Structure 1
Amino acid sequence: MIKNSFYLLTLLILVMVSCNEKEEQLTVEVYETSASGNQLKRITEFPEVWNPIQIKLNPNEQFQTITGFGGAFTESSAYLLNKLGKENRKKIIDAYFSKDGANYSLTRTHMNSCDFSLDNYSYSPVEGDKELEHFSIEEDKDDLIPMIKDAMAASEDGFKIFASPWTAAPWMKDNNNWVGGKLLPEYYDTWALFFSKYVDAYKNEGIDIWGFTVENEPLGNGNNWESMHFSPKEMTDFVEYHLGPKLEADGKGDLKILGYDQNREHLKEWVDEMFRNEASSKYFAGTAIHWYASTFEVFPEELQYAHNKAPNKYLIQAEACVDSEIPVWQDDNWYWSKEATDWGWDWAPEKDKHLHPKYSPVNRYARDIIGCLNNRVDGWVDWNMVLDKQGGPNWFKNWCIAPVIVDPEADEVYFTPLFFTMSHFSKFIRPNAKVIGVDNSDKDLLVTAAENPNGNISVVIFNETEKEKSIGLLLNGKSVEFIIAPKAIQTIVIPKNQ
Structure 2
Amino acid sequence: MEKHHYLRVFIIMIVLSSCNMENKKITFEVYETSARGNKLTEITNFSSLENKAVITLKPEQTLQTITGFGGAFTESSAYLLNQLSQDNRNKILQAYFGKDGARYSLTRTHMNSCDFSLTNYSYTPVENDTTLEHFTIKEDMDDLIPMIKDALDVSEDGFKIFASPWTAVPWMKDNKKWVGGKLLPEYYDTWALFFSKYVDAYKKEGIDIWGFTVENEPHGNGNNWESMHFTPEEMTDFVQNHLGPKLEADGKGDLKILGYDQNREGLKEWVDVMYKDEASSKYYDGTAIHWYESTYDYFPEALQYAHKKAPDKYLIQTEACVDSEVPKWKDDAWYWSKEATDWGWDWAPEDQKHLHPKYVPVYRYARDIIGCLNNWVDGWVDWNMVLNKQGGPNWFKNWCVAPVIVDPETNDVYFTPIYYTLAHFSKYIRPNAKVIGLENSDEELMVTASQNPDGSIAIVIFNETVIPKSIHLILKDKSKDKSAEFSINPQAIQTIIIPNV
Query: Structure 1 residue 357 and structure 2 residue 361: aligned?
Result: no
Query: Structure 1 residue 493 and structure 2 residue 497: aligned?
Result: yes
How far apart are residue 20 of structure 1 and its match?
Answer: 4.3
Q: Is the Cα contact below 8 Å between 1:49 and 1:482 reproduced in 2?
A: no
**2:228 counterpart letter in structure 1:** M
Q: Residue 3 of structure 2 corresponds to which residue in structure 1?
A: none
How far apart are residue 434 of structure 1 and its match?
Answer: 0.4
Aligned counterpart for 1:479 among listed residues 470, 476, 483: 483
Superposed CA offset, 1:193-243 (max 9, x none): 000000000000000000000000000000000000000000000000000
Query: What do you get for the CA RMSD once the two structures are aligned?
Result: 1.6
How far apart are residue 14 of structure 1 and its match?
Answer: 8.8
Distance 2:300 2:52 in 1: 28
The residue correspondences of 1:98-137 to structure 2 (distance < 5 A) are 98-137=98-137
Which secondary structure does the structure 1 equivalent of 2:465 belong to?
coil
Distance 2:87 2:345 in 1: 39
How far apart are residue 21 of structure 1 and its match?
Answer: 3.5
Query: Structure 1 residue 140 and structure 2 residue 144: aligned?
Result: no
**1:496 counterpart letter in structure 2:** N
Distance 1:53 1:419 in 2: 27
**2:487 counterpart letter in structure 1:** I
Superposed CA offset, 1:348-370 (max 9, x none): 01110100000000000000000
How far apart are residue 15 of structure 1 and its match?
Answer: 7.4
Q: Is the Cα contact below 8 Å between 2:51 and 2:469 reproduced in 1?
A: no
5+ residue gaps, structure 1, are 1-9
Q: Residue 253 of structure 2 corresponds to which residue in structure 1?
A: 253
5+ residue gaps, structure 2, are 1-9
Q: Residue 396 of structure 1 corresponds to which residue in structure 2?
A: 396
Q: Is the Cα contact below 8 Å between 2:34 and 2:489 reproduced in 1?
A: yes
Identity %: 75
Q: Residue 277 of structure 1 corresponds to which residue in structure 2?
A: 277
Distance 1:246 1:276 in 2: 21
Which secondary structure does the structure 2 equivalent of 1:292 belong to?
coil
Distance 1:62 1:50 in 2: 32
How far apart are residue 24 of structure 1 and its match?
Answer: 1.4
Instruction: Report the TM-score, using the length of structure 1 for normalisation.
Output: 0.96
Cα 1:175–1:41 shift into 2, 3 Å: same
Distance 2:110 2:221 in 1: 16
Q: Residue 71 of structure 1 corresponds to which residue in structure 2?
A: 71
Q: Is the Cα contact below 8 Å between 1:52 and 1:481 reproduced in 2?
A: no
Which secondary structure does the structure 1 equivalent of 2:485 belong to?
strand
Distance 2:51 2:239 in 1: 55
How far apart are residue 16 of structure 1 and its match?
Answer: 7.2
Cα 1:46–1:169 shift into 2, 3 Å: same
Which secondary structure does the structure 2 equivalent of 1:83 belong to?
coil
**1:281 counterpart letter in structure 2:** S
Query: Structure 1 residue 158 and structure 2 residue 158: aligned?
Result: yes
Distance 1:48 1:362 in 2: 26
Q: Residue 6 of structure 2 corresponds to which residue in structure 1?
A: none
Which secondary structure does the structure 1 equivalent of 2:283 belong to?
coil
Instruction: Report the TM-score, using the length of structure 2 for normalisation.
Output: 0.96
Distance 1:302 1:53 in 2: 29
User: Which 4+ stretches in 1 moved above 3 angstroms?
Assistant: 10-21, 46-51
Distance 1:450 1:83 in 2: 39
Distance 2:485 2:18 in 1: 16
The residue correspondences of 1:85-96 to structure 2 (distance < 5 A) are 85-96=85-96
Superposed CA offset, 1:259-294 (max 9, x none): 000000010010011111111211000000000000
Q: Residue 189 of structure 1 corresponds to which residue in structure 2?
A: 189
Which secondary structure does the structure 1 equivalent of 2:82 belong to?
helix
**2:377 counterpart letter in structure 1:** V
Q: Residue 347 of structure 1 corresponds to which residue in structure 2?
A: 347
How far apart are residue 490 of structure 1 and its match?
Answer: 0.2
Q: Is the Cα contact below 8 Å between 2:464 and 2:491 reproduced in 1?
A: yes
**1:401 counterpart letter in structure 2:** V
Distance 1:16 1:155 in 2: 46
Which secondary structure does the structure 2 equivalent of 1:387 belong to?
strand
Q: Is the Cα contact below 8 Å between 2:322 and 2:401 reproduced in 1?
A: yes
Q: Is the Cα contact below 8 Å between 2:51 and 2:468 reproduced in 1?
A: no
Which secondary structure does the structure 2 equivalent of 1:334 belong to?
helix
Residue correspondences, number:
490
How far apart are residue 255 of structure 1 and its match?
Answer: 0.3
Distance 2:394 2:21 in 1: 58
